[in-house]
Amino acid sequence: MDISPVFFYLFAGLALGCSLLVVLKKNPVASAFNLVMVFFAFAGIYAMLDAHLIAALQVLVYAGAIMVLFLFVIMLLNADVPSFDLQRSHPGARVVAGLLCAVLLLAFVWAFKNSPSPVEPGQFSASRIEAAGGNTRVVSELLFSEYILPFELTSVLLLGAIVGAVAIAKRKQKVGAGGGVK
């Protein structure tokens, strides 16, 4: 793959380290900041992989919106509870979980290494995308043609999520009777 090993390993190392810290740091705020670092590292890798739009969205949506939401909630709740830094779960469970994840990871790595993609490369080579007006343009065109359905659906999903989040998180309110219909 025509990406620079140096930068890749740099970002990958950063992402790996930070994600480990996300898991291992006791303080949720620390975890959150580490997560932001992971997001940034990912954005870098996206950019190297010619996914420019996604790299931008990664920063905007993930690091910008989602993480802010997280921090906001942490702050919201943290005010009430003194010991927010929770212990990690049972040490035995930790070992087992780590071990199992490691085993799985090994299996996957083995699998990745041993299965070359059997598919011929498609028409969207980097040069052709460039010719067609760049990644963002092509992606946007696809979004409104071939991918119109998922696009519309995500909007429905967002609507639903809003209704749901409102229903669940709003302050307790006086409930009106159903009334009228028996």
Partner 1 sequence: MIQQVEPWVVLSFCAAIFFIGFAGVLIRRNILVVLMCIELMLNAVNLTFVTFSKELQHLGGQMSVLFIITVAAAESAVGLALVIAMFRTLRGVDTDQIRLLRE
Partner 2 sequence: MEALTTIRPELLTLTDGQLQALMPYFLVFGGISLAIIASVLRSLKPKWPVFILGMLTTIAGICSASGLLGSQAGSELIFNGMMVSDAYSNFFNIVFLASAAFTLLSSFRYLDHEQLQHPEYYVLVLFSALGMMLMASALDLIVLFIALELMSLSVYVLVGFRRADRRCNEAAMKYFILGSAASAILLYGSALLYGMTGSTNIRDILAFVQAHPQGLPVVYVLGAWLVLVGFLFKVATVPFHMWMPDVYEGAPTPVTGFMTTGLKAAAFAAFVRVLISAGYGKGLVTAVQSHFHDILWVSAVLTMLVGNIVALTQVNLKRMLAYSSIAHSGYILVGMIAGPGSEQGYAPVVMYLVAYAVMNLGAFVVLTILAGRDDSGLNLQDLAGLSRRHPWLSFAMGVFMFSMAGIPPTAGFAAKYLLFYSAVQANEIPLVIIAVLCSAISVYYYLRVLVYIYMRDPAGSPAASRVSVWSLVAVSAMVVLTLQIGILPAKMVSAAKKAVTSL
Partner 3 sequence: MIALIPLFPLIGFLINGSWYAFVQAAPGRRKAGSGITGAIATMAILGSFVVSCLLFLQLQGLPPESRVLEQTLFPWMTFAGFKLDMAFRLDSLSTLFTLVVSGVGTLIHIYSIGYMSHDATPGKFFAYLNLFCFAMLMLVLGASLPILFLGWEGVGLCSYLLIGYWYSDPEKASAGKKAFVVNRVGDFGFLLGMFLIFTAFGTLDFEALRSAIVHGGHAALPEGVAVTTVTAICLLLFVGCMGKSAQIPLYVWLPDAMAGPTPVSALIHAATMVTSGIYMVARLNFLYSLSPTAMAVVAAVGGVTAFFAATIAITQKDIKKVLAYSTVSQLGYMFLACGVGAFTAGVFHVITHAFFKALLFLGAGSVIHGMHEEQDIMKMGGLRAKMPVTFATFALGWLAICGIPPFSGFFSKDEILWLAFSSEHGSVLLWGLGALTAVMTAFYMTRLFTLTFLGKPRFSEAHGEKHGHGHGHGDDHSHGHAPAGVHESPFSMTGPLQVLALLSLIGGFMGIPHMSWLEHWLAPVIPAHQATGHVAAEMEWVLMGVSVAGAALGIFLAIRLYADLELPRQFATKWAGLYRVLFNKWYVDELYERTLVRPIHALSQGLWKNFDVAVIDRIVLSFGRASQWSGQTVRTIQTGSIQFYALVLLIGIVLSVGYLIYGLA
**87: burial class by Cβ within 10 Å (0-12, 13-18, 19+)?**
exposed
For the bound state, the minimum distance from the C-beta of residue 151 to partner 2, rounded and expressed in Å, comes to 10
Q: Does 93 bind partner 3 (CB under 8 A)?
A: yes
Q: How far is CA 22 from the centre of its chain?
A: 13
Question: Measuring CA to CA, how many Å separate 129 from each of 5, 17, 52, 56?
Answer: 23, 33, 12, 18
* Residue 31 · residue 4 · CB < 8 Å: no
Q: Which CB atom, from 131 or from 154, has the smaller least distance to partner 1? A: 154
Q: Which CB atom, from 114 or from 127, has the smaller least distance to partner 3? A: 114
Q: Which CB atom, from 110 or from 151, has the smaller least distance to partner 3? A: 110
Furthest CA-CA distance within the chain: 71
Q: Does 110 bind partner 3 (CB under 8 A)?
A: yes
CA–CA separation, 154 and 75 (whole Å): 29
| Amino acid at site 66 | I
> Phi/psi at 25 (nearest 5 deg)?
-65, 135
CA–CA separation, 74 and 25 (whole Å): 15
Q: Does 86 bind partner 2 (CB under 8 A)?
A: no
Q: Does 104 bind partner 3 (CB under 8 A)?
A: yes
182 binds, among partner 3, partner 1, partner 2, none (CB under 5 to 8 A by kind): partner 2
Q: Does 76 bind partner 2 (CB under 8 A)?
A: no
Select from 1-9, 15-23, 52-60, 88-96 the region that touches partner 3 (CB under 8 A): 88-96
Question: Where does this chain bind partner 3 (CB under 8 A)?
Answer: 89, 93, 96-97, 100-101, 103-104, 107, 110-111
**Site residues (vs partner 2, CB under 8 A):** 107-108, 110-112, 114-119, 122-124, 127-129, 131-132, 138, 141-142, 144-150, 153-154, 156-157, 159-161, 163-168, 172, 175-182
